[in-house]
Amino acid sequence: MILGVKVKKLIKHCDDRGFFSELIRDDEPALLSKFGQASWSMSYPGVIKAFHYHEKQDDLWFFPSGNAQVVLHDLRENSLTKGDTDVYYMGEENPIMLFIPKGVAHGYRVLGQKPATIIYFTTESYKPDNPDEKRIPWDDPSISFDWETKNR
């Protein structure tokens, strides 16, 4: 597992009305050291958004609807897991919060036949004049992640 990445499994309190679940609390600083921004985005089935990374901000991801294949790749020079790639399947079928530290490239592919929505929290707010948004092509050979679903 890439160093510094954290997973919080959400607890669904189900009853006859539906369910309730906590996402993040102020006594979980390990998950988000500070609040910068909350963002919401939707992607259509099959879309790949990858790879992005940040120099200053940490991300905390949650997919409230749909499902995604999330791919992380450690770019940090001084990390013991530099060069490692990890995959998470998250969303409706696996409701988790995923903490992605700065310097870890991240991206996702929407799985299934319906759009996926993501709500994510960042430790910094977006600066339109100088965004902390770095990009690596989704099929970059240095990561060489195979995004195809394997029928087996």
- Rg of the chain on CA atoms, in Å: 16
Which of 90, 106, 121, 145 forms a contact with ligand TDO (CB under 6 A)? 106
The secondary structure of the chain in percent helix, strand, coil, rounded to multiples of 5, reads: 0, 45, 55
Which of 12, 22, 30, 41 forms a contact with ligand TDO (CB under 6 A)? 41
Strand runs (DSSP E) across the chain, as ranges?
Answer: 6-9, 13-15, 18-20, 37-43, 48-53, 59-65, 67-74, 85-91, 96-100, 104-111, 116-122, 134-135
**Closer residue to ligand TDO in complex, CB, 44/126:** 126
Distance separating alpha carbons of residues 41 and 66, to the nearest angstrom: 12
Smallest distance from ligand TDO to CB 131, Å? 7
Q: Which of residues 114-143 bind ligand TDO (CB under 6 A)?
A: 126, 133
**Closer residue to ligand TDO in complex, CB, 133/139:** 133
**Closer residue to ligand TDO in complex, CB, 33/39:** 39
Distance separating alpha carbons of residues 73 and 67, to the nearest angstrom: 20
Total of residues contacting ligand TDO (CB under 6 A): 7
Residues identified as active-site = 52, 120
The answer to whether the CB of 37 falls within 8 A of the CB of 121 is yes
**Closer residue to ligand TDO in complex, CB, 8/53:** 53
Which of 6, 24, 48, 49 forms a contact with ligand TDO (CB under 6 A)? 49
52 binds ligand TDO (CB under 6 A): yes
DSSP bridge partners of 99: 6, 60
Instruction: List interacting residues with ligand TDO (CB under 6 A).
Output: 39, 41, 49, 52, 106, 126, 133
